[in-house]
Amino acid sequence: MTTSFAAISARLAALEDKEAIRALKARYLRACDLKQPEVVRDCFAPGPIRIAYENFPEFTDRDAFVEVYRAMGCQPGVFDIHHATNWEIELIGADRATGKWSLNFRTILTGPRQVVRLAVEYEDTYCRQNGRWWIVETVSTVTSMLTEAIAADGSATVLVLGAAVPVAP
């Protein structure tokens, strides 16, 4: 079996594009954890986008999203951990792709002394503009949760356990 140079080049380009998208998602999640709102902002394309995270308002531009992220996540006593796995990236042409990710999310809230753990599924759309990949749409669904209250002695009391409970609008 003979493989042409063009076929090998196309396969290599696809691998490089998928790796660039994985690096983009990792940069976004790490920036969320490290409280870097400008890096978070730079992961989303300029112009109209869609950010639809379950139990949050929907956003159509990156600046509005970053302001809410800054107000909620960049506060003293809020410690987040975003670990994405099980990625599936599909290239939909030269400059567009979709991605699915499973997220293990944890936040430690020292004010109310709570730990919240969520299992989240992401569905993203990416586009390449000016030679780089951007997130243009991201939708999340919470599939399960565990919320614990931590007493002064360190003991934990489970407040919520199991399937995610939708928040009323």
Domains along the chain?
5-163 (3.10.450.50)
Q: Mean pLDDT score of the chain, rounded to an integer?
A: 94
Query: Which region, left, alpha or beta, applies to residue 168 given φ > 0 means left and ψ of -120 to 50 means alpha?
Result: beta
Residue 168 has pLDDT above 60, yes or no: no
Sequence-distant (6+) residues with CB within 8 A of 159 are 114, 147, 148, 149
Residues 142, 164 contacting (CB under 8 angstroms): yes
Per-residue confidence at 164, pLDDT binned at 50, 70, 90? Answer: low
Q: Cα separation of 92 and 104, whole Å?
A: 27
Give the phi and the psi of residue 165 in degrees, each rounded to 5.
Answer: -100, 120
pLDDT > 90: percent of the chain: 85
Give the phi and the psi of residue 118 in degrees, each rounded to 5.
Answer: -130, 145
84-115 core/surface letters (b: 16 or more CB in 10 A; e: else): beebebebeeeeebebebebebebebeeeebb
| pLDDT tens, position by position, 121-153 | 999 999 999 999 999 999 999 999 999 999 999
Chain CA centroid to CA 140, Å = 8
